[in-house]
Structure 1
Amino acid sequence: MAGPLARFIEAYVADFTKRNPDIEVKTVFGGNYEENQAKVVAAIKAGSPPDTAILLSQQLYTLLSLDAIEPFDAYIAKDRELQQAVADFFPAFMMNSTLGGKVYSLPFQRSTPILYYNKEAFKEVGLDPEKPPTTWDELVKYAEKLTKRDDQGRVVRYGVAIPTEDRSTWLLEGLTIQAGGLLYDPQGEGCKVLVNTEAVRQGMQFKRDLAAKYKVSPEGVIAWGTTPGDFAAGKVAMIYHSTGSLGFIRNNARFSFGTAFLPRKVRYGVPTGGANFYLFKGSDPAKREATLRFIKFMVSPEIQARWSVDSGYVAARRSSWSLPLMQEYLKQWPQALTAREQLAYARAELPVYNLQQVKDIIAEAEQAVVLGRKDVRTAVREAQARVDQALAPYCRK
């Protein structure tokens, strides 16, 4: 986290310390998800883990392999407030939080990817601004109409942009689900990743075709970080991005925009995303009660509602959505409902050992396809072999 998101967190921490003057909270902002994970792992290996950290929910297997975390169950069993929280979280957000019947993390900064679209651009080309594309085929047809060129034939507005993040498989997971597959075996116990499959091939090829075949998307790798800005600036009419970007787009787009489910191929579907609170072995036991009080405050319905309004992330508690703050927000920004409603079609985000190396391998293969350096069958076959090798040290039985 950085910028406005960090300031929001600091404001919540300040409110907590006002209500709990006997507790001092020291916040450390570690950068993006990967950077923050690396810093926490370094602290664990140095024997000085944090009391709690907000890390990707899908990091569960990696943290277990380090013997670094403890489950919440013993605390939940004797704490009515924690029991209520676990029952109140959207089930989709608990998919990556539990394993073997134990609760290893609590949702905080949660999301799904959604479609953002420029309603004024839709009107300009004769599309109904209240009817976004619902299928991959419709997405292509809409994007062809929305792509705008100048007199010299240069593109001044692309129809669609689906980012290809350097170290992430998130949007590829969504395309894979929409094509009828999954990037992992749910029964694989963190050890079976399904790269060399038809659904993954279709997802990668679709991203390639949007630029190379249909000419409706920028050539090459589309950067995650700049895509919301390009949308807000009118350089692209539709984007796939996190609901967590809603706050930025809300504040920067100078046009009416809509949000929608990601289009389907054979079904709707997205991975959940974002980060949860974890408890670490080896942190000061005397601080545990204070740590739990802080976590309960941060995942409370009230703070989850504030966080959603402030940032655009999904309020992870169902009860948050009935609070007056959220009700007023939704009257002004009904776009915030899209990610919540899409949870009905959500799947767990890639849960696997050695997570970052596995994601790097798959992302590298995806980029090779998007850039036209490898055909999709070769890319996924080679990636599958490398992923299996990366998992082998963790998954020998």
Structure 2
Amino acid sequence: MTLRSRSAAVAAGASIALLLSACSTDDTGGGGGGASASDVPGAEVLDDLDEAVEVEFWHSMDSTNGQVLNGLIDEFNAENEGRVRVTGTFQGDYDTTLAQHRAAIQQGDTANLIMVYDLGTQFMIDSGQTVPAQAFVDKDEYDTGSLEDALLNYFTVDGDLRSFPFNNSTPLMYINRDAFEEAGLDPDTPPKDLAEIREYAEALTVTSEDGQVEQYGFGAAVYGWFVEQFMARAAVPYCDNGNGREGRAEEALFNDPKVVEVVEWWQSMIDDGLAVQLGRSTDDAQAAFTSGRAAMTLESTGSLGGFLEQSDFEVGAGYFPLVSADDPGGSIIGGASLWINGEGHSQEEVRGSWEFVQHLLTPESQSVWHAGTGYLAVNTEGYDGPEAQERATQFPQFAVAAAQLADSETSVNTAGCMMGVMSDARVAAEEGWEAALTTDDTPEAALTRSKESLQRKIDEYNDSVG
């Protein structure tokens, strides 16, 4: 099951407005208030219990990832027998999980702990149901020093950490190392910007005697997350008011000249036969790379395991490209974080949830999590664990993602946009990008029209919480 549903349902329309109109929020960049350290229960509330506190955890991890997560849950339960017992429940993909949470808020019956993807951050703050992560950090003087800076940056709003990063990834450039060597290119130095990708693609594109392209130099999906990444790499905000972190976001900015430049470049690559037109399907883009049809692609770190298993060539990885060589760089993350619900829950349940989150963030757990799933190790000390070290030895490509984040400049631009309808914004960016590639519209006109179509949803959302 994909965790990257393109549905705009998460933040859309009347149900959001009805729900948030009942919540008390302010009109700053973060919205919503929340408990302070003095309101957070200490560990003593779990002493001398008659029976273990039950913690319900809603998540979106199935298949292999779900098995690894269940292993960490079982380990925690064994260590906390008679004190805290966590029950993990798969709710569906990210959109479905958040929709279920919205319904639970309306019914007054939320889970104790919930995994919510990055695009739901502003909604979670505005709903006013959770205890800010910062309150737990302050209460216990919890040391966040070993947690990845770029991830803390994303989930920090108005100076406070709002949720705990957990299953996070970042996009990379993937290359067919065999094709690079056959073309006389060094696979250890992948292209760093769009101009270099074009230069490499000219050498990598293979045409048959009858003029048919047998191997394109480049091919990737028209995926809205990549727009966010290109903008972050160029230190350009995705939305106004400091990416929604200095005031509530009122306008999306994905028709920025930097994005126009990307789309113009993309169109020229297709027109010149150097890139294959793949549309918005990430499945098609992945298949084009693993089959050898495209020698370079863009994808999440979460796809590396599949690429290694499905390709009959050696897979390499490099940093996600810059638009221009002089862009400052940086990286924006994807995936989800953990939110502890406070509204309607006992102090024992709140504390039990926090105890479990701490278990998930230990170096030992993060080593197991990273090695078993391919997600980043939120706790960077996790990369030193035996499981992570074994994976690094077997698959050195995974080190590229950690290095890219370590080299990332942390700012409001790399923190990402805080917007209540961020899922709609991502879809709108994709629609404008695709329209530029498939119609007579110029990239600037297509992106601007798509941006303007999004404005009504932004206004409706902000009115509902204002």
Aligned partner of residue 88 in structure 1, secondary structure: coil
Q: Summarize the Cα distance change of 1:227–1:142 in structure 2 as closer, same or farther, 3 Å threshold.
A: same
1:92 deviates by 0.8
| Aligned counterpart for 1:19 among listed residues 58, 62, 79 | 79
Q: What aligned pairs does 1:93-132 form with structure 2 within 5 A after superposition?
A: 93-132=151-190
Number of matched pairs: 390
Does residue 255 of structure 2 align to residue 196 of structure 1? yes
Instruction: Give the Cα separation in 1 of the matches to 2:175 and 2:432.
Output: 28
8 Å Cα contact 2:255-2:448 kept in structure 1: yes
The 5 Å alignment of 1:180-259 reads 181-185=236-240, 186=242, 187-211=246-270, 213-259=271-317
Partner of 1:345: helix, strand, or coil? coil
Residue 101 of structure 2 is matched in structure 1 by 40
- How big is the alpha-carbon RMSD for the aligned residues of Structure 1 and Structure 2? 2.3
Query: Conserved in 1, the CA contact under 8 Å of 2:172 and 2:300?
Result: yes
- List per-residue Cα deviations over 1:91-138 (Å, max 9, x = no partner): 110122121222210010111111111111111122112221112111
TM-score normalised over the length of structure 1: 0.90
Q: 1:241 deviation in Å?
A: 0.6
Alpha-carbon shift at residue 220 of structure 1 (Å): 4.5
CA distance in 2 between counterparts of 1:240 and 1:18 reads 41
1:179 Cα deviation (Å)?
A: 4.7
1:345 maps to 2:408: yes
| Closer, same or farther: CA 155–384 of 1 in aligned 2, 3 Å | same
Q: What secondary structure is seen at the aligned counterpart in 2 of 1:225?
A: helix
Which digits, 9 at most, give the CA deviation of each residue in 1:358-396, with x for residues without a partner?
A: 222222212212323532121222223233332223446
Amino acid at match of 2:128: D
Distance 1:188 1:218 in 2: 40
User: Given residue 422 of structure 2, which amino acid in structure 1 is its aligned partner?
Assistant: L
Q: Is the 8 A contact 2:342 2:350 kept in 1?
A: no
* Shift in alpha-carbon separation, 1:130–1:73, aligned structure 2, 3 A: closer
Partner of 1:75: 136
More displaced, 338-347 or 24-33?
24-33
Are residues 24 and 181 of structure 1, via their aligned partners in 2, closer, same or farther at CA, if it must alter by over 3 Å?
same
Match of 2:70 in 1: 10
Asked if the contact 1:108/1:277 (under 8 Å) is kept, the reply is yes
Larger CA Rg, structure 1 vs 2: 2
Once the two structures are overlaid, the 10-residue window that deviates more, 235-244 or 6-15, is 6-15
Give the alignment partner of residue 370 of structure 1, picking from 425, 437, 461.
437
Query: For 1:174 and 1:328, how far apart are their aligned partners in 2?
Result: 30
The 4+ residue runs of structure 1 with deviation greater than 6 A are: none
Distance in 2, matches of 1:284 and 1:14, equals 23
Q: Within 2, Cα distance between the matches of 1:373 and 1:281?
A: 52
Matches of 2:216 and 2:315, distance apart in 1: 16
Tell me the alpha carbon deviations over residues 317-365 of structure 1, each in whole angstroms, 9 at most, x when there is no partner: 1222233433343233221111112122251233212222222222221
Which amino acid is 2:460 matched to?
P
Q: Which AA in structure 1 matches 2:263?
A: M
In the alignment, does 2:111 pair up with 1:29? no
TM-score (norm 2): 0.77
Give the direction of change, closer, same or farther, for the CA distance of 1:157–1:42 in structure 2 (3 Å limit): farther
Q: CA deviation digits over 1:174-224, x for unaligned, max 9?
A: 22334552322323433342123211211232333332x232222241412
CA displacement at 1:312 relative to structure 2: 1.7
Are the equivalent residues in 2 in contact too, given 1:140–1:214 (CA < 8 A)? Answer: no
Q: How big is the shift at 1:14?
A: 2.2
Letter in 2 for 1:257: V
> Match of 2:449, as an amino acid?
E
| Contact 1:143 1:159 (8 Å CA) reproduced | yes
Is the 2:279–2:434 Cα contact (8 Å) retained in structure 1?
Answer: yes
**Partner deviation per Cα, 1:226-255 (whole Å, 9 max, x = no partner):** 433432332321111111222222333332
Provide the identity percentage: 24
Work out the CA distance in 2 between the residues paired with 1:296 and 1:339: 24
Q: Which amino acid aligns with 1:17?
A: N
Structure 1 residues 151 and 247, CA gap change in structure 2 (3 angstroms): same
Question: How far apart are 1:139 and its partner, in Å?
Answer: 0.3
Q: Deviations over 1:42-65 (max 9, x none)?
A: 222232211111112342211222
Q: Deviations over 1:247-278 (max 9, x none)?
A: 22233333222111122213234322111101
Provide the C-alpha distance between the structure 2 equivalents of 1:207 and 1:164, rounded to a whole number of angstroms.
10
Amino acid in structure 1 at the alignment position of 2:165: P
Please say if residues 232 and 416 of structure 2, whose CA atoms lie closer than 8 Å, have aligned partners that are also in contact: no
**What are the superposed Cα offsets for residues 136-180 of structure 1, whole Å, 9 maximum, x if unpaired?**
111012123222334443333322222123xxx211112233455
Structure 1, unaligned stretches of length 5 or more?
none
Seen in structure 2, the aligned counterparts of structure 1 residues 334 and 394 have a Cα distance that, compared at 3 Å, is same
What does residue 232 of structure 2 align with?
A: 177
Aligned-pair distance for 1:12? 1.9
